[in-house]
Amino acid sequence: MNFDFSDDARTLQDQARRVFDETAGPDAARAVMNDPDKHYDEAIWKQAVELGLTAIRVPEEHGGVGLGAEEACLIAEEIGRGLVPAPLISTMLFTEALLIAGSAEQQAKWLPGVADGSVIGCFGWGEGASQLPSSMPDTRMAKGGLTGTKSPVADAPIANAAVVSYAGEDGPALALVDLSRDDARVTVVETLDLVRPHGTIELKGVEAEPLGTSADYQDFLDRAAVLLSFEALGTQDAAMRMAVDYAKERVAFGQRIGRYQGVKHNAADMYVKGELARAHAMHGAWAFQAGSPELRQAAAAARTASLDAVTYTAEENVQMHGGIGYTWESNCQFYYRRARAISAMLGSRGFWSDRLVRSLENRNAEAA
Partner 1 sequence: MDFNDTAEEAAYREKVRAWIAENTKEYEGQGAAKTNEEFVARQKSWQKKKYDAGYAGITWPKKFGGQGKGPMESIIFSQEEGKSAAPTGLYAIGLGMCIPTVFTHGSQEVVDRFVPVALEGEEIWCQLFSEPAAGSDLAGIRTKAEKDGDEWVINGQKVWTTNAHLCDYGIIVTRTDPSAPKHKGLTMFIVDMHSEGVEARPLKQMSGGSDFNEVFFDDVRVPDAWRLGDEGQGWQVALTTLMNERLAVGGKPRYSPDWRALLNLAKEIETVLGPASEQADVREEIAKAYINDHGVKLTQQRALSALSQGKTPGPEQSISKVVVAKQMQEISRIALDLSESQGFVKAEPGSELDRFQSSYFGAAGLRIAGGTDEILRNIIAERVLGLPGDLRPPKDTPFNELKPV
Q: Give the dihedral sign, CA 25/69/276/4.
A: negative
122 binds, among partner 1, a second copy, none (CB under 5 to 8 A by kind): none
Rounded to an integer, what distance in angstroms lies between the CA atom of residue 218 and that of residue 174? 10
Report how far residue 296's alpha carbon sits from residue 287's, in angstroms, rounded to the nearest whole number.
Answer: 9
> What is the number of other CB atoms lying within 10 angstroms of the CB of residue 109?
18
Q: Which is nearer to a second copy, 36 or 254 (CB)?
A: 254
- Whole-number minimum distance, CB 330 to a second copy, in Å? 24
The answer to whether residues 330 and 321 touch, using CB atoms and an 8 Å cutoff, is yes
- Size of residue set near partner 1 by CB under 8 A: 95
Pattern 23-62, binding to partner 1, x per CB under 8 A? ----------------------------------------
Of 64, 69, 81, the closest CA to residue 29 belongs to 81
Q: Which stretch binds a second copy (CB under 8 A): 73-81, 95-103, 180-188, 255-263?
A: 255-263
Site track 223-262 with partner 1 (rule: CB under 8 A), x = hit: -----------------x---x--xx--xxxxxx-xxxxx
The window from 35-43, 126-134, 140-148, 215-223 that contacts partner 1 (CB under 8 A) reads 126-134
Q: Which is nearer to a second copy, 204 or 265 (CB)?
A: 265
User: d(Cα 69, Cα 25) in Å, to the nearest integer?
Assistant: 24
Binding-site member from 192, 202, 209, 213 for partner 1 (CB under 8 A): 192
Residue 232 CB, shortest distance to partner 1, in Å, is 14
Residue 254 in contact with a second copy, rule: CB under 8 A: no
> Which H or E element spans position 44?
helix 42-50
DSSP string for residues in 92-153: HHHHHHHHHH--HHHHHHHHHHHHHT---EEEE---STT--TTSPPS-EEETTEEEEEEEEE
Q: Does residue 248 belong to the site contacting a second copy (CB under 8 A)?
A: no
**Residues between 87 and 116 that touch partner 1 (CB under 8 A):** none
Asked whether position 261 contacts a second copy by CB under 8 A, the answer is yes
Q: Is 46 in the site for a second copy (CB under 8 A)?
A: no
Whether the ω angle into residue 197 lies within 30 degrees of 0, i.e. cis, is no
What's the rounded Cα separation, in Å, for the pair 241 and 81?
A: 10
Residue 291 contact among partner 1, a second copy, none, beta carbon within 5 to 8 Å by kind: none
Q: What Å distances lie between residue 60 and 9, 65, 101, 108, 262, CA to CA?
A: 17, 5, 18, 11, 52
**Contact pick of 22, 46, 265, 272 for a second copy (by CB under 8 A):** 265
Per partner kind, with CB cut-offs from 5 to 8 A, the member of partner 1, a second copy, none near residue 31 is none
Among 47, 54, 107, 151, binds partner 1 (CB under 8 A): 151
Q: Which residues bind a second copy (CB under 8 A)?
A: 260-265
